[in-house]
Structure 1
């Protein structure tokens, strides 16, 4: 499974491995074909999930309402749906960190 796939409606599905309580929020690399990100928030009361959305919004320069956490609310393995951006734009941003 690649870390990014395109849905039939044109939205993008991003497969993440999230590492909470990191020193800073950033892309770490790839882990089991998922994009591994580190975030500073702890996995308590949805704080980590909120920070994932906030981090991706800032990273890809899309509005937070265009990012939906679809699966993995209580897991390190998360699936996120992103609209209003191309897969090429996401890959270009990610490549800067790999």
Structure 2
């Protein structure tokens, strides 16, 4: 997995490439250092962002409140921060999501 994970305080930040209006919400893989994620919701009124964070929270096994979108609110290229987890834990959990 060539996903760049950056430690930030007590959490980890990583890039996400979101593909809204997909047939199903799921993690597709890693693309150019970013986690590629298909999102069923359209990018209207933040619906795709909410669904993205819920999907990642479920896959990482953390409460939704532990995730935040720190960049790219209106872009396909986003940055997500996972609070209270270290790089190794995030890497392991994302690897499980990619299987």
In structure 2, how many angstroms separate the alpha carbons of the residues matched to 1:28 and 1:45?
A: 24
Structure 1 stretches of at least 4 aligned residues deviating more than 3 Å after TM superposition: none
Question: Structure 1 length normalisation: TM-score?
Answer: 0.88
Q: What's the CA shift for 1:47?
A: 0.3
1:86 Cα deviation after fit = 2.4
| Cα RMSD after superposing both structures | 1.6
Taking the aligned partners of 1:33 and 1:82, their CA distance within structure 2 comes to 17
Residue in structure 2 matched with residue 22 of structure 1 by the alignment: 22
TM superposition score normalised by structure 2: 0.87
C-alpha deviation, 1:78, in angstroms:
0.4
Q: Which runs of 5+ in 1 are unaligned?
A: none
In the aligned structure 2, how far is the partner of 1:62 from the partner of 1:52?
Answer: 14
Name the SS of the counterpart of 2:68 in structure 1: strand
- How do 1:1-98 and structure 2 match up within 5 A? 2-7=3-8, 9-96=9-96, 97=98
Structure 2 residue ranges without an equivalent (≥5): none
